[in-house]
């Protein structure tokens, strides 16, 4: 095996979305589209393209970039949930993404049955799952609710149980979207401890984050992504510096444009939601609880 030394080997990865096949698709719309226009290329949005990188065993890598850069799509591709439309993704080891927080529960059955169900979905052996169940229940710490239908849970309880299941098995390769924090102070402390434990045991980590201050703490190397491409790859301090520099330049650019507008007597833009040049249909990432919204997210520039 030529690439066995790498935990993750991504080559020329491309993932595209068909803009005309979304959840609102109907046959009527499709037919109209099909009859109307036949140039198919403009129907695609490349969420990722020409992405190549390797992660050695024992390495942690940070993924930085503005909203809509394709970071989450990259994690989905590494987790095997999205299949590449171009290029290849090779994974050596058991991957786990901690994306599974609370969603995907079966509402009508109990928490205990949901543990078994989600374990089976994740492909964990029945016997292993049976052994793990007591510790999952203990960690979630939701008392007698574990035998009540999940429908009756508070959102905090759902998140606790989801986190507890998702982190029950230490993976070889850990994919993290933001250093997570859920629930109250006490649970947050315990979940942070558990993530640190997983981080220590994992052979490779990919961490997507907006927190430029703490990324160096976890990752020696980082990628900067923008518009589905890797813009910069290098040691974390350098990548962070490059990124900060880029944000400063952008801000200066915008200030300049505004000044020009004011000078020309044009009306001021009401709200500045997006930087120029960003894809119009950006994916909105849910707000991450308990993390710093640092200057890393340019959407917040105010």
Partner 1 sequence: MTTPVRVVRGARTDAGARPPGFRDLFLQLEYVRLVRRGVQDLRTRGRLLQYLVGTDLKRTHADTVMGQVWWLIDPFFSMAIYAILVTVVFQRSIPDAPLFLFAAILPWQWFQTSLIDATTSVTARGNLIRQIQFPKLVLPAASTIAGTITFGFGLLSLAVLYLVYPSRLSPWLLALPVIAVVQYVFTLALAVLFSGINAFYRDVQNLLRHVVRIWFYASPAIYSVAALKGSVFGIALALNPFTYLLTSYRNVAYYGQAPDWVGLASVLLISVVLLGFSIWVFKRIETGFAKIL
| 91 lines the binding site for partner 1 (CB under 8 A) | yes
| 113 lines the binding site for partner 1 (CB under 8 A) | yes
Hey, what are 271's tokens?
């709200």
* Beta strand pairing call for 6-18 and 44-56: antiparallel
Q: State the nearest-atom distance from the C-beta of 172 to partner 1, in Å.
A: 7
| 32 lines the binding site for partner 1 (CB under 8 A) | no
**Within a 13 Å sphere around the CA of 292, how many CA atoms are in the beta-carbon half?**
8
Q: What is the DSSP string of 38-60?
A: ---GGGEEEEEEEEEEEEETTEE
- Looking up tokens 């997983």, which residue turns up? 198
| 284 lines the binding site for partner 1 (CB under 8 A) | no
Q: State the nearest-atom distance from the C-beta of 267 to partner 1, in Å.
A: 39
| 23 lines the binding site for partner 1 (CB under 8 A) | yes
List, in sequence order, every residue forming a beta bridge with 45; answer none if it has no partner.
17
Q: Are 90 and 3 in contact (CB under 8 A)?
A: yes
Give the angle 271-272-276 at the CA atoms, nearest 5°. Answer: 145
Give the whole-angstrom CA distance, residue 284 versus residue 273: 12
- Applying CB under 8 A, among 43, 54, 59, 87 the residue interacting with partner 1 is 87
| 141 lines the binding site for partner 1 (CB under 8 A) | no
| 176 lines the binding site for partner 1 (CB under 8 A) | no
Q: State the nearest-atom distance from the C-beta of 176 to partner 1, in Å.
A: 14
| 25 lines the binding site for partner 1 (CB under 8 A) | yes
- Applying CB under 8 A, among 37, 52, 81, 155 the residue interacting with partner 1 is 81
Radius of gyration in angstroms for the set of CA atoms belonging to the chain, rounded to a whole number: 22
Q: State the nearest-atom distance from the C-beta of 212 to partner 1, in Å.
A: 27
- Applying CB under 8 A, among 5, 40, 58, 120 the residue interacting with partner 1 is 120
Nearest to residue 93, comparing CAs of 193, 179, 207, 9?
A: 9
Hey, what are 112's tokens?
């205990």
| 170 lines the binding site for partner 1 (CB under 8 A) | no
Q: State the nearest-atom distance from the C-beta of 302 to partner 1, in Å.
A: 32
Give the whole-angstrom CA distance, residue 85 versus residue 178: 26
Angle formed by the axes of helices 155-166 and 111-121, nearest 10°: 40
The pattern of x and - marking residues 250 through 279 that bind partner 1 according to CB under 8 A reads ------------------------------
Residues that bind partner 1 (CB under 8 A): 1, 14, 17-18, 21-23, 25-28, 30, 76, 79-95, 97, 99-100, 103-104, 106, 108-109, 113, 116-118, 120-123, 126, 149, 172
């Amino acid at each position: 095996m030529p690439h066995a030394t790498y935990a993750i080997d991504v080559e020329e990865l491309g993932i595209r979305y068909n803009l005309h096949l979304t959840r609102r698709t109907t046959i009527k719309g499709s037919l109209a589209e099909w009859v109307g226009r036949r140039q198919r290329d403009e129907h695609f949005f490349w969420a990722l393209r020409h992405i190549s990188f390797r992660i050695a065993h024992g390495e942690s890598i940070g993924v930085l970039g503005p909203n809509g850069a394709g970071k989450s799509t990259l994690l989905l591709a590494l987790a095997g949930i999205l299949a590449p439309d171009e290029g290849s993704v090779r994974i050596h080891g058991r991957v786990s993404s901690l994306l599974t927080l609370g969603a995907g529960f079966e509402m009508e059955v109990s928490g205990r049955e949901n543990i078994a169900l989600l374990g089976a979905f994740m492909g964990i052996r029945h016997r292993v799952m049976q052994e793990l169940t007591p510790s999952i229940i203990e960690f979630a710490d939701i008392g007698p609710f574990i035998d009540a239908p999940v429908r009756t849970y508070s959102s905090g309880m759902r998140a606790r149980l989801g986190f507890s299941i998702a982190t029950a098995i230490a993976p070889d390769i850990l994919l993290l979207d933001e250093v997570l924090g859920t629930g109250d102070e006490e649970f947050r402390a315990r979940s942070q401890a558990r993530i640190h434990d997983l981080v220590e045991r994992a052979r490779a980590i990919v961490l997507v984050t907006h927190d430029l201050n703490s990324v160096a703490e976890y990752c020696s190397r980082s990628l900067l992504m923008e518009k589905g491409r890797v813009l910069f790859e290098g040691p974390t301090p350098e990548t962070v510096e490059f990124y900060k520099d880029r944000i400063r330049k952008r801000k200066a650019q915008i200030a300049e444009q505004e000044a020009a507008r004011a000078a020309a007597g044009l009306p001021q833009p009401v709200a500045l939601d997006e930087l120029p040049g960003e894809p119009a249909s950006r994916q909105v990432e849910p707000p991450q609880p308990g993390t710093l919204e640092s200057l890393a997210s340019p959407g917040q520039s105010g």
